Amino acid sequence: MSPLIQQAREIAQQALAGEMLYDGSPFIGHADAVAGIVTQEIGLPEGCAAAVYLHEATRAHPGIDIQAFPQDIRTMVEGLNKIATIKPKDTRLEAERYKRLIVQYSTDPRVVVIKIADRLEVMRRLQFFPKSSREQKMLETLMLYMPLAHQLGLYTINQELGDIWFRYAEPEQYRSITNKLRATQKDRERLMQEFIEPLKK
């Protein structure tokens, strides 16, 4: 972990001390996971990971001083904090408006990508959320974050978001499809190998 990220993480760890996730683990674990997605899975620079930690710290405690960090990081934090204040009552009715607000608050385009990474981390832990909150997260993901991920060319993330959404929205169909894919896996691997061999030659 670079000194920049470490410094931001220490601020977040102190600010979030005692706060817990729905599964009972420390809240800093969410920020750690989002920072990992941002840098390791998406490949954004370390400043974006620092912005993740500072966003979580200052969202909970707006008075925290982050002036020691570069301006571009502070700009990303400001955008993320503004997006966090948007609370659509009915995502189906406000989806386009919400997407416009996300883009409007993202003066740095990396802000939208970080927000999508944040949502991916939330969806990966969806089983720990209460039913009402889980359904809201699913609706927001379908109506807002999947289209944004697609528009930005984050196709792998968009696919994972869709897979998770489908698993919870249509559990019986999801299990049926998963079982069929598992049952035909060897046949598909054999066909793929038969296709690859002539190309190798």
- Rounded CA separation 111/73 (Å): 10
Residue carrying the six token digits 């999947």: 146
**Among 58, 34, 15, CA closest to 125:** 34
Residues 112 and 148 sit within 8 Å (Cβ to Cβ) = yes
93 or 39, which is more confident: 39
Is residue 109 over pLDDT 90? no
Instruction: Return the pLDDT at 158.
Output: 96
pLDDT per residue over 88-107, tens digit each? 665 555 677 777 777 777 77
Average pLDDT, stretch 38-51?
Answer: 96
At 89 the pLDDT is: 62
The architecture that CATH gives domain 3-169 is: Orthogonal Bundle (1.10)
Please tell me the predicted confidence (pLDDT) of residue 159: 96
Question: Cα angle at 55 between 4 and 87, to 5 degrees?
Answer: 165
Please tell me the predicted confidence (pLDDT) of residue 67: 95
Nearest to 39 by CA among 4, 81, 88, 90: 4
Rounded distance, CA 134 to CA 165, Å? 10
Average pLDDT, the chain: 90
Round to whole Å and give the CA distance between 93 and 91.
5
SS3 of residue 130 by DSSP: coil
Distant-in-sequence, close-in-space partners of 196: CB < 8 Å, separation ≥ 6: none
Residues whose CB is less than 8 angstroms from the CB of residue 93 and which lie 6 or more positions away in sequence, other chains included: none
Q: Would you state the pLDDT for residue 126?
A: 95
pTM, rounded to two decimals: 0.83
Residue 36 has pLDDT above 60, yes or no: yes
Mean per-residue pLDDT, 46-63 = 94
pLDDT at 112: 92
Supply the pLDDT for residue 101.
74
Instruction: Kindly report, residue by residue over 147-190, the tens digit of the pLDDT.
Output: 999 999 999 999 999 999 999 999 898 888 888 888 888 888 88
Rounded to an integer, the average pLDDT of 38-54 is: 96
Task: Read off the pLDDT of each residue in 130-154 and give the average, rounded to a whole number.
Answer: 90
Q: Is 26 helix (H, G, I), strand (E, B) or coil?
A: strand
- Cβ atoms of 31 and 41 within 8 Å: the answer is no
**Quick one: average pLDDT of 66-91?**
86
Of 14, 109, 122, 103, nearest to 58 (Cα)?
A: 14
